[in-house]
Structure 1
Amino acid sequence: MAYWLFKSEPDAWSWDQQVAKGAAGEEWHGVRNYQARNNMRAMKIGDLGFFYHSNIGKEIVGIVEVSATSHPDSTTDDPRWDCVDIRAVKPLPRPVTLEVAKADPRLAAMALVTNTRLSVQPVTEAEWTVICALGGL
């Protein structure tokens, strides 16, 4: 299993909206960055990810699961852009802010800390464990 982080501006797509999609989940569409797209192409069903509210809040608020592997993004006719489907698994009891992540030396190399603009990022197993602990899991 691999771990990931999905970023969304909560006024465009929020954790609550993701949860409302239930077991069916939702297509993680609209990504127009090659590195983020390639990350989604590497995902497998059952991989887990953090759901991160960017711009407003700047915090990891929940855990999602990849429910469909990479497929064409339905929001474009451009064949270069793919997406995956994700479903909400559970909220973090304590959201983990970007400020907290940056302050923790165990997360110094995490993509969230070093490349804050990338919308879909890999997360190492060690980083996953730290964030889960910080989030009360």
Structure 2
Amino acid sequence: MTYWLFKTEPGCFSFDDLKNRPGMTEHWDGVRNFQARNFLRDAIKVGDLVLFYHSNIAIPTVVGIAEVVRGGYPDFTALDPGSDHFDPKSSPDHPIWYMVDVRYREPLLRPVTLEQIKGNPLLDEMPLVRRSRLSIQPVTPEQWQIIMTMGGMPDR
């Protein structure tokens, strides 16, 4: 199993939105960064766990845990001219962008803020601290456990 952090703006798609989807499952679409795309396409696998992170708000925060239930496949929103994520360079024969499906697992007992993460020297090497702009980021098992403990869930 591998661990990840997925960033989303809660005004566009929140952890509660995921919880309220049928089956508490949704595709993670619209990623338009090549490094993040490569993670979605090549590295993220079924069973991987995800820190669900609300970004671009007053207090950016890890709010919950999701699980990958379908590995990388072409992002169909790139093919839809009516989509905000349309990319005319992408085609069914040569997809550029990829997505995965995630399922809601559970909220953290105590949400963990970016300020708390940055304040923990054991998390200095997290991409969220070092290169926070990337929307899909790997998380080491040690970093995962530290955040679980900070979130009141040391046994996850």
- CA distance in 1 between partners of 2:51 and 2:101 (Å): 14
Deviation at 1:22, TM superposition (A): 4.7
Deviation at 1:40, TM superposition (A): 1.2
| Deviation digits for residues 32-63 of structure 1 (CA, Å, limit 9, x no counterpart) | 00111111121111100100000113000000
RMSD of Structure 2 on Structure 1 (CA): 0.9
Kindly indicate whether the alpha-carbon contact (under 8 Å) linking 1:68 and 1:84 is maintained by their aligned counterparts in 2. yes
- CA distance in 1 between partners of 2:104 and 2:24 (Å): 9
Alignment of 1:1-137 (within 5 A): 1-23=1-23, 25-41=25-41, 42-56=43-57, 57-77=59-79, 78=90, 79-137=95-153
Kindly indicate whether the alpha-carbon contact (under 8 Å) linking 2:2 and 2:44 is maintained by their aligned counterparts in 1. yes
| Deviation digits for residues 62-107 of structure 1 (CA, Å, limit 9, x no counterpart) | 0000010100102112111000000110000100000000000000
| Deviation digits for residues 92-136 of structure 1 (CA, Å, limit 9, x no counterpart) | 010000000000000000011111110000000000000000000
Q: Secondary structure at the match of 1:116?
A: coil
Kindly indicate whether the alpha-carbon contact (under 8 Å) linking 1:51 and 1:64 is maintained by their aligned counterparts in 2. yes
Q: Secondary structure at the match of 2:65?
A: strand
Kindly indicate whether the alpha-carbon contact (under 8 Å) linking 1:110 and 1:123 is maintained by their aligned counterparts in 2. yes
Structure 2 letter corresponding to 1:86:
V
When normalised by structure 1's length, the TM-score is 0.97
| Deviation digits for residues 2-25 of structure 1 (CA, Å, limit 9, x no counterpart) | 000000000000110011125351
- CA distance in 2 between partners of 1:101 and 1:110 (Å): 9
Query: How many corresponding residue pairs?
Result: 137
Structure 1 unaligned spans of 5+: none
When normalised by structure 2's length, the TM-score is 0.85
Kindly indicate whether the alpha-carbon contact (under 8 Å) linking 1:5 and 1:121 is maintained by their aligned counterparts in 2. yes
